[in-house]
Amino acid sequence: MLHCIKHGLYCLKYRRNYTKQITSSISFILFRWHQRIHLHIFIIVLFIASLISYHKPFALLYNIKYIRPETLSIIPIRNDLIKKQKQEQQQAYEWLDNLWKNSKYYSNIISNQTDQSRFYDFIQLKNNKSSLSSYTLFHKPKQILLNNHTDISDHIIISILYSQQDTDRREGKFYVGQVLYQLLKNYHSRFIITLCENGNVNNKIPDDIELIRRLVPVFIINTSDSDQIIDMYEREKQAHLQCILANFQSFPDISYVLLLQDDAQPIGDDFYLRFLSLIDYRIKQQWPLNGYRQQPAFLKIYHPRWLINYLHPSVYTIVQLIATSLLLTFVFFACFNLLQIIKQGNDNNANNSINNITFVNRLISTNLNRIYFIYYFLLITLVLILLNHSNVSWTWRSLHPSFYAIYPAPSCCLPGVVYFRQTYIQIIDYLDSVKCHNGYAIDTAFDDLPKRIPLQTYLVEPNLIHHIGLYSRLRHTYINPYLLD
């Protein structure tokens, strides 16, 4: 019995001593160790980065908090956003209505001679339709413009694909009006804007649709008989296919078509200038129109920001993370060493140049500095991961189109896609050869495209458009508002 008590007291004393040693070690590291400044920097920087990551949209901790299955707390947030979008759509409708009623003040968009959009001037109604073509132009160009031979080879088409159903601005679903408003309000003369209306039916046409049909050329697609049952995913694919065909065939001199979904809104009033810079100084340089390099299948100008992060890593994002961390660590050490050299020079003016050379060699060669380099490299890497790829990379890439990144497109989503005249026939043939269904939508079919035909698909960063669609017509439901970007 006495032996057990002594053993218990010994164990208790040992534990106390062990705890005391740990406490003493921690106290020494935090408050008395001469190198403790590095640990303090690590803790403070990581704490600040975590706070920013928690509150900054699309940062790592923000995504973990909000990009998840919906809860009841999201409903009021979504309702507030729907209310805001209703106001924006009403504003867009009123502006478009004013454009039509006072078209004489918008002669760059509406012709005073024909009371039609000037975009009709460039349509060529030749018998160049293929066997796959099943679209119609809603309004024909006026006869007075048939002999127009204006050179539009440097023009670019922007076509908005929308559905006639579920577009009422009073329900907050008139996204096509928001997009068209943004494009026409800031209109640039090198662009031709068209619409592709998917699912034309004989029901009563909403006044929203009646209005936008008057403003720009409209191609009616998917006009098959209502008795014929088509899977909604296949119908979406057919709409995409016909819209590409309609624009390239109706404007045979055009080299590029930007196909936008109706809920893909251009970012900023300078969208046209940035997009032109992308075309003229990046795409034409990388894939010349008459060059030896084959143009790609397409170039996406949007990818969901919540998918461009380190929870969904890609080779590109990992390589850029490492490269950015190395660069920032090198810059930090270069500045630190420069300060040390200056300090050393002030302390010892004699034989200054010799001392500086010796000091630099010592800074570079010591094992301690190598350890510190790795230490701060890891710290900077952790900070970049917390802030997330788009918040770091897109900040400086947005400064000028020459900084834009173009790399193989990851999977998912087609709100904004640039198609090329050189390769669009191959895209059409490919789409015609595949059958879409639930679980194999058009974006999944496009993921398989490089495996089936010798064409590559690309993505440009940063995004040039917003995804503003809260309501999914394909799924007939509202989505998580935190997914919108």
Digitized pLDDT (tens) for each residue of the chain, 485 residues in all: 555 555 554 555 555 666 666 665 555 555 555 567 778 888 899 999 999 999 999 999 999 888 888 778 888 999 999 999 999 999 999 999 999 999 999 999 998 888 899 999 899 877 666 777 788 898 888 754 445 566 788 999 999 999 877 677 778 889 999 999 999 999 999 999 999 998 765 567 788 889 999 999 999 987 555 445 578 889 999 999 999 999 999 999 999 999 999 999 999 999 999 999 999 999 999 998 887 778 899 999 999 998 888 888 888 999 999 999 999 998 888 887 777 777 766 665 545 544 555 555 555 555 657 778 888 899 999 999 999 999 999 989 988 888 999 999 988 889 999 999 999 999 999 999 999 998 899 999 999 999 999 999 999 999 999 999 988 877 778 888 888 88
Domain extent for 229: 90-305+414-483
Residue 282 · residue 458 · CB < 8 Å: no
Burial of 452 (0-12, 13-18, 19+ CB in 10 A): exposed
The bridge status of strand 156-163 relative to strand 191-198 is parallel
Closest alpha carbon to 142 in 165, 107, 118, 176: 118
Q: Which two tokens stand for residue 134?
A: 């099943």
Contacts of 197 (CB under 8 A, 6+ apart): 138, 162, 163, 164, 209, 213, 218, 219, 220, 221
Q: Which two tokens stand for residue 97?
A: 């209505």
The bridge status of strand 191-198 relative to strand 264-266 is unpaired
Decide if 292 is inside a domain. Answer: yes
Distance CA 174, CA 100 (A): 18
Residue 59 · residue 387 · CB < 8 Å: yes
Closest alpha carbon to 4 in 301, 12, 256: 12
Contacts of 63 (CB under 8 A, 6+ apart): 306, 309, 311, 388
Decide if 315 is inside a domain. Answer: no
Decide if 195 is inside a domain. Answer: yes
Task: For the beta carbon of residue 207, count every other beta carbon within 10 angstroms.
Answer: 11
Decide if 350 is inside a domain. Answer: no
The bridge status of strand 457-461 relative to strand 405-408 is antiparallel
- Main-chain phi, psi angles of 149, to 5 degrees: -125, 40
Distance CA 391, CA 384 (A): 9
Q: Outline where DSSP puts E strands in 37-165.
A: 136-137, 156-163
Q: How far is CA 262 from the centre of its chain?
A: 16
Residue 154 · residue 289 · CB < 8 Å: no
Q: What is the pLDDT of residue 250?
A: 93
Distance CA 239, CA 199 (A): 9
How many independent structural domains does the chain possess? 1
Decide if 4 is inside a domain. Answer: no
Q: What is the pLDDT of residue 312?
A: 84
Q: What is the pLDDT of residue 13?
A: 54
> CATH number, domain at 123?
3.90.550.10
Decide if 16 is inside a domain. Answer: no
Beta bridge partners of 163: 198
Decide if 387 is inside a domain. Answer: no
User: What's the Cα-to-Cα distance from 49 to each of 310, 333, 335, 433, rounded to whole Å?
Assistant: 15, 20, 22, 49
DSSP letters along 149-185, please? ----TT-EEEEEEEESSS--GGGT--HHHHHHHHHHH
What is the pTM for the complete model shown?
Answer: 0.86
Decide if 342 is inside a domain. Answer: no
Q: How far is CA 114 from the centre of its chain?
A: 39
